[in-house]
Amino acid sequence: MEEPGSIDALRGEIRQWLAANLPADWRERQRGDDIPSFLTMQKEWFAKLVEAGYATPHWPKEWPGGGRPLAEQIAIFEELARGGAPRMSLFFVSLYHAAMTLCECGTEAQRAKHLPAILKGEIWCQGFSEPGAGSDLAALRTRAVRKGDHYVVSGQKIWSTLGQFADQCLLLVRTDSSGPKQAGITFLLMDMKSKGVDVRPIKQITGDEEFAEIFLDEVEIPVENLVGVENEGWKVAQVTLSSERGLTLVELTERMGLSLWRLVEIASGGGRDFSAIDIGTRREIVGIASRIEALRAMLATLMANRIAGREAVGDASILKLAYSRLSRDFTALGLRLGGTASLCDTHYTLGAGYETGNWMFDFMNSYQYNIAGGSNEVQRNIISERVLKMPREKLA
């Protein structure tokens, strides 16, 4: 696709800005074994992005940095990825899920309270999934009962990204169980310091704690924290879930493409003589390279369609499934080529892409994409039912 000159200029501007502002040692400062340092680095980087306007291109134009069209948002994500900048891990939910939900469905008072706070570093998490409501999110059971000017909430949430560091939470609760499961869900904003909130980080297979469980024991949430209408929170949740508009995959795919050299390097032992690489390995690398190229092309088409407002049903599921599987295959190949050395390399960086060459960490981490945000199996249901028009399986 040919880009207009304005986007080209924006790209140049970001590259220049990165050259002056990207801390060379950020990967060292975001090591997995030093969480305080990770948090400091993330906050420092976030403040710089906000100041430059690169954190909020998707916000309404009244806000600093806001009002940029999707094409420019894409360019920003691509350039930050190409420049090897840290991902926005700690602030992503705040900037996208929280801010976009408030912009589209919140009250004026909610926006006035939280949007400026987000720019100053208020951290948000999502309280959607529950132990019994993963792929079947609408089956959630965390209960809220209205008492006077507040709701009293009890239940359990799980898989809240970085929930242990969050100040605020986007919370889905059940206020009515009498009708269909999507009805009777209510969307609330919860202060994580409220009485009765207990957060426990989940230790993942990587040893890292990127997610948390949130236990709610008669937590009181003021009624003014209701988003939208009581019992109609499911609609609001759809806004939250579609808030990032594919930008995460733009970034991750770009990072994977620009990390392909790692596979070549490890296969060739760091040398430039590619013909010395085992023929089977060479073929696998070409296969991965082709899939990355295809995914980039698919993503470009999807984003162009989004910009033009003509996205087809299921396109996002096809893309996500393709990406998830590629993520696993890419890292699995690196792991195998790395041999025992990759099994001994237990130092990893948080908030990076695929470029660090810690294959074992990236391989384990790839399960995230295959499970979170609608597991591969859910995507296959969506593709077969909504795109190929195959019937739902009769449930027992």
Partner 1 sequence: MSDFELNGGIDPEELRDAARRLLADKVDRRAPWEARDNGRMALEGAMTELGWYLLTIPEAMGGLDQSFEALAPIYEEAGGALSPLWPAGTMAAIDVLAADGTQEAQAALQAIAEEGHRVATVILPVGALAQSARVAMVPGADLATHLLLVPENGDACQLVPRDAAGVSIEVVETWDRSRSFAEVVLNNASADAMRIETPEALSLARAHSELALAWDCVGAAAQCLTETVEYMLGRQQFGRPIASFQALKHRAADHKVALELARSLVTHASMAYARKRNGWAELATQARLLATGAFRGIAEDAVQLHGGVGFTWEYSCHLFLKRALVNEMIDGAPEALNDRIAEAVMQKATSARI
Least gap, CB of 272 to partner 1 (angstroms): 8
For residue 154, what are the contacts with CB-CB under 8 A and spacing of at least 6? 142, 143, 196, 216, 217, 218, 219
Least gap, CB of 183 to partner 1 (angstroms): 26
Q: What is the full DSSP assignment across 36-83?
A: HHHHHHHHHHHHHHHHHT-S-TTS-TTSTT----HHHHHHHHHHHHHT
> Rule CB under 8 A: which residues touch partner 1?
81-84, 255, 257-261, 263-265, 268, 272, 274-275, 277, 279, 282-283, 285-287, 289-291, 293-298, 300-301, 318, 321-322, 325, 353, 355, 377, 379-381, 383-385, 387-394
Least gap, CB of 9 to partner 1 (angstroms): 21
Helix or strand (DSSP H, E) at 218: strand 211-222
Q: How many other CB atoms are found less than 10 A from the CB of residue 229?
A: 12
Would you say 146 or 325 has its CB closer to partner 1? Answer: 325
* Rounded distance between C-alpha atoms, residue 140 and residue 130, angstroms: 6
* Rounded distance between C-alpha atoms, residue 241 and residue 135, angstroms: 13
* Rounded distance between C-alpha atoms, residue 316 and residue 357, angstroms: 28
Whether 224 is catalytic: no
Q: What is the full DSSP assignment across 266-333?
A: HHTTT-S-GGGS-HHHHHHHHHHHHHHHHHHHHHHHHHHHHHHT-PPTTHHHHHHHHHHHHHHHHHHH
Least gap, CB of 21 to partner 1 (angstroms): 16
Backbone angles phi, psi at 86, to 5 degrees: -65, 150
* Rounded distance between C-alpha atoms, residue 373 and residue 95, angstroms: 17
Least gap, CB of 315 to partner 1 (angstroms): 8
* Marked catalytic residue, from 78, 210, 230, 244: 244
Active-site residue set: 244
